[in-house]
Structure 1
Amino acid sequence: MTEGNFVDYAKVFAASGKGGRGSTHLHRAKYVAKGGPDGGDGGR
């Protein structure tokens, strides 16, 4: 395959949301009554 004489340029701008408040999840297990929170820091 031969090389072409064209050079392509592209400017890319990417943005995402502001993060939000994250989510919470409580520990659920058969033998754990009223399990506390499990997981990370909720997105902070």
Structure 2
Amino acid sequence: MIRVITLDREYGSGGPAIAQRLADRLGWALWDERLTREIARLT
């Protein structure tokens, strides 16, 4: 089973930091814009 949590945010609300804290707390990898760009670069 693949589990996914998505977060939406307002600009300046600290969304990326909240997402990272949640990922750390759950022991999950964070799939963020940086990872998406890296995957696109490699394909």
TM-score for both structures, normalised by structure 1: 0.22
Q: Give the greater-gyration-radius structure (CA).
A: 1
More helix by percentage: 2
User: Which structure ranks higher in relative contact order (CA pairs < 8 Å, sequence separation ≥ 6)?
Assistant: 1
TM-score for both structures, normalised by structure 2: 0.22
